[in-house]
Amino acid sequence: MYNVSWIFDTYEACLLGQYSRHKRFVRDYIRFYGTSQPETARVGKTELDILQENHRFVREVDENDTEISWEQRIAKRYYEKLFKEYAICELKRYKEGKIAMRWRTENEVVVGKGQFECGSTRCNQKEGLKSWEVNFGYVEDGEKKNELVKLRLCPDCSYKLNYKTQKRQAKSQKVGRKDKRSQSDVVTEEPAENKSKRRKYSSGGHEDGSVEGSNYCSLGVKMNGTDIVTFLEETASQAKGKSEKAASVWKTPIKIDEEKTTNEQLDSYFADLLQ
């Protein structure tokens, strides 16, 4: 398994702010791969025609592109995720419940429009942005597609987006893990009646002097000497079987998906950039 922490250190990422890191990754991507903008438009075709023919909202990842440096891999992974995360919206007719959306142009991706700046076409606000998850339906190459995307909007534009129907606010993975921990920390109070029974069974016997196994005690079944021996033998046999099964787990080689683990580390590193 690759340890990518040293890459982040050499990348000077820990010394940069969010927007500075964004610019660094995008600059490196363009340096390594160039831009994906169409070449000079041919006669008879407008810029819009060329853009529609060549642009893809959700880009396919080249799985065969493995012989690249880590610096290239980081920039490439980040750049690819940008095209899958955010969209731009037009809120002019928000009171009618009509919200128009489009994917970001490459220039908007580079400057951070819709990510570090409000994703509304008529707003340039950079403070107080919130992320909203919205289903984006569009047609590409004659095929209808749907993609769950994020709209990063300022408070005023967020109000317009939710004017007719309430959208779901996107939450970061860190917040989700925190909520999960807080739920697991909740302790349920045991009823007083159950506490009394538990103390009674933990004493090891009853008023009539009969001895009972823990499982049988809960059922109120009395046992003689022979039953006790049988019960203990069965319990020991079951415990031995569980112990052998647990030991066999450690003998089995652990299979690690190195590529997946590496990508997960990269995605975790980008989490604060892709809010």
Q: Identify the pLDDT of residue 89.
A: 94
Tens of pLDDT, residue by residue over 160-213, are: 999 988 777 766 554 444 444 444 444 444 455 555 544 444 444 444 444 444
Q: Identify the pLDDT of residue 108.
A: 87
Task: From residue 153, give the alpha-carbon distance in Å to each of 60, 103, 126, 129.
Answer: 27, 15, 9, 5
Tokens of 148: 């769950």
Q: Identify the pLDDT of residue 112.
A: 86
**Percentage of the residues of the chain whose pLDDT score is greater than 90:** 16
Cβ neighbours of 191 (radius 10 Å): 9
Q: Identify the pLDDT of residue 146.
A: 87
**pTM as predicted:** 0.47
Q: Identify the pLDDT of residue 96.
A: 92
Return the H-helix or E-strand segment holding 158.
helix 155-161
Tens of pLDDT, residue by residue over 225-264, are: 556 656 666 776 776 666 666 566 455 554 545 555 556 6
Contact 153, 120 (CB under 8 A): yes
pLDDT band, residue 5 (cuts 50/70/90): very low
67 CB burial (10 A radius; 0-12, 13-18, 19+): exposed
Q: Identify the pLDDT of residue 186.
A: 41
Q: Per mean pLDDT, which of 72-86, 94-108, 167-181 is the most reliable?
A: 94-108
Contact 125, 94 (CB under 8 A): no
**Does the pLDDT at position 158 exceed 90?**
yes
Q: Is 122 helix (H, G, I), strand (E, B) or coil?
A: coil
